Every structure is written in C-alpha cells, then in structure tokens.
Structure 1
Amino acid sequence: MDTRKTFPRGILGFPTAPFKENGTIDEKALEINIDFLINEGLSSIFIACGSGEFHAISRAEYQKMVEVAIKITAGRVPVYTGVGGNISDAVELVKLSEDLGADGYLILPPYLIDGEQEGLYNYYKAIIKESELDAILYNRDNAIVNLNTLQRLVNEFPQIVGLKDGCGNMELNLELVQTIGDRLEWLNGMPFAEITMPAYAQIGFKSYSSAMSNYMPHISRLFFNALNEGNEEVVNDIYVNVLLPINSIRKSRKGYAVSLIKAGMKIQGFPVENSVRPPCIPVEEDHYNTLSKIIDESLKRYPVENKEITKL
C-alpha cells in the first residue's frame, strides 16, 4: 500500500534570507515575503534553501527562518526546509525541521565531493532513514543520481516524494520519468526555471521553483497557466518580453541567481536590501537599473490588480 503524502503541484515558493543593515536576519521582511507568496497562490514554501542562502546562514538563523515560515504559513501550505552538508549536519537539520513542524525537506548537494553512485546512495540513505518526513532529492552539480540509484532509494524509502532537477540532462530526466512515473513528483529546479519549463512540461514535470514569483508572481502564474492550457501566444509573449531579458541579466554574473531575486523585490517595494553574503555579490547598479526598467515594462504589459504589499 502506498502511504506517501501527496506533493503539492504547481509553482513552488522559495523565499530569500532578507538581511538588515547590520547583517542580521530581518524577520519581519521574511514574514512579508512568505505571506505574499502564499497569498499569490504558490503551492508550498521552501525555506532556507538555495534562494534562502543555505550556504551562508548560521544554525540559529536557520532555525529562526524555519520558525518564521511555520508561523506565517499557519498550515495554509506545506513547508519544506533545505538540508545538506555532511551527514551529521544534514540529519540534525532534518530532526530540527521535524521538531519545528515542517512537512518535509529538500536535500541540497553535499559539499565539494563528486561521489560515485554508491556513495550518493549511502549519503541519501543515511539522511532519509532518520525521519519519516517527506524527502525530496536534488539532481544538481556534484550530486546527480542515475536511474538505478533513484530506483533503489525510492523502493526502500516511501517518504521520498519527489526529485528536483537542476542539471538539465533531458536524456536522464526522460529515463527517470518514463521508468518511475507518478511514484514521484518531478520538479524543475533549473536556475530561472520558467526559461526551461516549456521543455520540462512536455516530459512530465508539473511543478517548478520560481525565483520571479518573489516579485512578479502574477506573471509567473500567467505563464504557467498558459503553458498548461496550450496558449502558445501568451507563453511566447511572456518568454520573449519578460523572461529572456531578466535571464540575460541573471547570466551576467555568478551568484545573481540569488541576488537578482532580492534586487527585484526591492524594486517592487519589499523591505529587502540588495545585499547577500559572500561568495555571492549584490546586483551591480547598471544591472539593477536595467532590471528596474524590465520590471516596469513587464508590469505595463501585464498589470497586477493589487500591487500593494501587505504589512504584517
């Protein structure tokens, strides 16, 4: 009997780690970020993951961010946390997430080592066996499981509910989806996932992580709905006039996948500074101004009904 929980399909929310001028976590700004994503219809919240600068936050900051997410979501959508690093640290974060009331977790790639498949299997097994929380694997960088490894893990652990792909190997993705099918939810986790979603949707990926939803969720929603409805005219118009121009900036500097989100949020009036922790860098002034013009033109082309940000 399949006892796994149903993963919420759709656009996945990945809040940032907003910092105050003194460099500490801005809890109020994080609350606003999360509440905004939920009110805009995103299906779930992934806290303290890549967009949340998992690599740069302390354990205390991690706990605070998860606590804020649990409090603000208040059961409206599921909350997933980012876990990773060495096995001991990852297990501690899983147990902390469980204690705090999270619904599951996303396992981020382990640091530095490009392991063999058997090593990746043992890494994931050591983490997942410690909890019944929903687990999501992440094919990216130095942690890419093949079909055999994923089948072994899925057969052994019913709590594995999804795989997020951030490597873009479509031959591998087809092998995984065609063989394993709806036993897992397939999540497009490519940087700026809207760019590749037309291709991913064709092979069975029904969900994606949306950085743009942190500042223009209505456009991401329009795009996703048009994609699902087969409205190629709207898909192409948003692709050419919104997504590609933003992606051009994102690709210009390493780390912009994180910092460009905060820049977009600041432009849109969120209480988020254009600041990130090293090794990421903040968005440069010229790129910031270009992004501001793109957002302005995008909103003229696709106006939002209520631009006011809720003040919690």
Structure 2
Amino acid sequence: MTEKRKAPEGISGFPVTPFNESGNIDKEALTKNIEFLLDEGLESIFVACGAGECTNIGMEEFEEMTELAVSVTGGRAPVYTGIGGNMSESLKKTEISERKGADGYLILPPYLIQGEQEGLYEYYKAIITSTDLNAILYQRGNALLQLETLKRLTDFPQVVGLKDGVGDMETNIEFTQEIGDRLGWLNGMPMAEVTMPAYIPLGFNCYSSAISNYIPHISRKFYEALKEGDEDQVKEIYEDVILPINRIRRKRKGYAVALIKAGMEIVGLPVSNTVRPPVTPVEEEHYEELRGVLKDALKKYPPNREAAL
C-alpha cells in the first residue's frame, strides 16, 4: 500500500454522538470529544460509526458531523466516516464524505438482508467505486465475506483494510495468510482490548477502542504492554479495568454505546448519559458500578489530566 492507500494503525478513536437537552447533536461536546482523542494521541478518528449511533443519525446530521470532524482534526489524524445500510443513503454519504474532505469510510453491513456472496460483492463494489476515498470493509452481522469474495474486492485500490467484528479466528487466519499486507487488519470486536492478544499474532495492528473515549491512557498502556510482551502488565490491566468494564457492558443490549457515554460523563467530559432509541441509557446501578471501577482504575493508573470523580 502507498502512503495514501494505507489503513489506520494503532488505536482508533470512535467518538460518540452527544445530544443536548433538545435531543439535537451537541456540536461543542462532539468537538471536545474529538479534541480529547487527538490530544491523547489516537491514530485515527471514525465519526458517525457504531459508537456514534450511526443508524440514528439523519443525513444532514451526518454531513454536519463529517464537516466538524475534518475541521477539528485538521490533518492530525485520518478521518473515516460510517457508511452502510441501504444503497441510496450509502452513496449519498460517500459523496458527502468526499466533498467534506474525509480520508475514507468504514462500510457497515447492509440493513437486514442476508445476501449471497455475489450480492455482497456488488454492494461493496458500488460503494467503493463511487469515490476515490479509502474504504475499510467491516466483517460483521449479515455481511460476512468469504475469502474469494474478499480477494476480488482487493482488486479495487480504494480498499485498504478489513475490520473484524465477528471473532471467527479460523476465517481471520485464512484471510491474513492468503492476503497478507495487501490489507490493513483492524480488530473491531466489542471492547476490542479483550480480544486483542489473540489478534496481534495474525497481523492485526489496529483496534477500535471504546474505553479510549474516557480512559485512553489505560488503553494505550495496555496496547504497549501487549506489543512489548509484558504479560504481567497485561494481566494486571485485564483484572483491574478491562474485564470489569466488559462485564458491565454485557449486562444490557446497547451498552456497547451507552456505557461509553456513561464513562465519559463520570470522568467529567461534556457528554450526558443520553442516547437515541432503540439504545437505552445506562441504568443507575450499572452506572455506579462503572463509577467504582473507574475510580479505582484512575487511582492506580493516573492520567496526565484530572478526572472528575
């Protein structure tokens, strides 16, 4: 891959979509969310994706968020948008992404329909070839590519990476062995820190971090320990932070998004525990449980900033 056609590496930031009291997007809070991620050194920004409640974002809101993300980032990191759902809306979003100056997009699954491999190929092809922007394929839900389909899609230079949100390691081994460094490999499992030790040996050198929205320094410490082979540090952060938060995340559907906002609110970032249906806010009992985990974590692994607990 060339420098232009290079997939993100390291830790990717996935800003949430903050809402104000009127239920509209809080642009000031979104700006601070992105600035915080950049200041913490995250290597890429993915806006209006899963953590950003992409399925609940209107087209005008998508355009506003894309423009804001590109402006705030200012070239400090590549900006990717979330594309997916029905074809018509997907192509409108690719046009917006290109016009507003994004570096590429993450292609999420088409809505509901279980397509054959040829249908998935045509879906991806139409989106990929609609612009010259980089494209990352998302292996998730009802869009599960087989090796031969993925190989066909690598004929398009716009395709720079594949993000795995399934956890089928047999398939991942097959993909990485057959395709190698033609693609960048991203771990997109829910709370990817949990599974990253299994992905690194396969060549995955990037992951999307939910907890980086509120404790990015701990995610960074964990990732560096993984790369350096510091098993004691990895085990310690697993026990103190990652597994306790993951246990809370698994208690309710939608917490993959809602728990991020709760964590941000707890540490004093300008995001309220407010989401759009069908996602529901974090329940008080689980909110306080998360507060306790974060209080202990920040005491043991203090950040360079002050956390409001």
Q: TM exceeds 0.5?
A: yes
- Supply the distance in 1 between the matched residues of 2:258 and 2:307 (Cα, whole angstroms): 23
Query: Is the partner of 1:51 in helix, strand or coil?
Result: helix
- Supply the distance in 1 between the matched residues of 2:32 and 2:3 (Cα, whole angstroms): 34
Map of 2:235 onto structure 1: 236
Map of 1:292 onto structure 2: 291
Closer, same or farther: CA 299–121 of 1 in aligned 2, 3 Å: same
1:224 aligns with 2:252: no
Query: Is the partner of 1:19 in helix, strand or coil?
Result: coil
1:147 aligns with 2:140: no
| CA deviation after TM superposition for structure 1 residue 4, in Å | 5.3
| CA deviation after TM superposition for structure 1 residue 8, in Å | 2.9
Query: Is the partner of 2:52 in helix, strand or coil?
Result: coil
Contact between 1:14 and 1:45, CA under 8 Å: does it hold in 2?
yes
Map of 1:259 onto structure 2: 258
Query: Is the partner of 1:164 in helix, strand or coil?
Result: strand
| CA deviation after TM superposition for structure 1 residue 57, in Å | 1.0
Query: Is the partner of 2:17 in helix, strand or coil?
Result: coil
1:121-153 residue CA offsets vs partner (Å, 9 max, x unmatched): 011011111111000000001101011000001
- Supply the distance in 1 between the matched residues of 2:117 and 2:103 (Cα, whole angstroms): 27
Map of 1:20 onto structure 2: 20
Contact between 1:4 and 1:159, CA under 8 Å: does it hold in 2?
no
Map of 2:68 onto structure 1: 68
Contact between 1:192 and 1:211, CA under 8 Å: does it hold in 2?
yes
- Supply the distance in 1 between the matched residues of 2:190 and 2:266 (Cα, whole angstroms): 21
Map of 2:281 onto structure 1: 282
Query: Is the partner of 2:235 in helix, strand or coil?
Result: helix
Map of 1:48 onto structure 2: 48
What is the count of residue pairs matched by the alignment? Answer: 308
Q: What pairs up with 1:56-135 in 2 under 5 angstroms?
A: 56-135=56-135
- Supply the distance in 1 between the matched residues of 2:67 and 2:95 (Cα, whole angstroms): 14
- Supply the distance in 1 between the matched residues of 2:2 and 2:275 (Cα, whole angstroms): 42
Query: Is the partner of 2:51 in helix, strand or coil?
Result: coil
1:158 aligns with 2:154: no
- Supply the distance in 2 between the matched residues of 1:165 and 1:3 (Cα, whole angstroms): 22
- Supply the distance in 2 between the matched residues of 1:296 and 1:276 (Cα, whole angstroms): 24
- Supply the distance in 1 between the matched residues of 2:3 and 2:292 (Cα, whole angstroms): 49
Map of 1:192 onto structure 2: 191
Contact between 1:3 and 1:158, CA under 8 Å: does it hold in 2?
no
- Supply the distance in 1 between the matched residues of 2:29 and 2:306 (Cα, whole angstroms): 17
| CA deviation after TM superposition for structure 1 residue 2, in Å | 6.1
1:240-259 residue CA offsets vs partner (Å, 9 max, x unmatched): 11000000000000000000
| CA deviation after TM superposition for structure 1 residue 7, in Å | 2.3
- Supply the distance in 1 between the matched residues of 2:33 and 2:4 (Cα, whole angstroms): 29
Q: Which amino acid aligns with 1:137?
A: L
Contact between 2:5 and 2:157, CA under 8 Å: does it hold in 1?
no
Q: TM-score, normalising length from structure 2?
A: 0.98
Q: CA RMSD in A?
A: 1.2
Any unmatched runs of 5+ in structure 2? none
| CA deviation after TM superposition for structure 1 residue 6, in Å | 2.0
Map of 1:30 onto structure 2: 30
- Supply the distance in 2 between the matched residues of 1:2 and 1:305 (Cα, whole angstroms): 35
Contact between 1:4 and 1:158, CA under 8 Å: does it hold in 2?
no
Query: Is the partner of 1:202 in helix, strand or coil?
Result: helix
| CA deviation after TM superposition for structure 1 residue 308, in Å | 6.3
Contact between 2:267 and 2:307, CA under 8 Å: does it hold in 1?
no
| CA deviation after TM superposition for structure 1 residue 67, in Å | 1.1
Query: Is the partner of 2:259 in helix, strand or coil?
Result: helix
**Segment of structure 1 superposing worse, 283-292 or 56-65:** 56-65
- Supply the distance in 2 between the matched residues of 1:211 and 1:89 (Cα, whole angstroms): 26
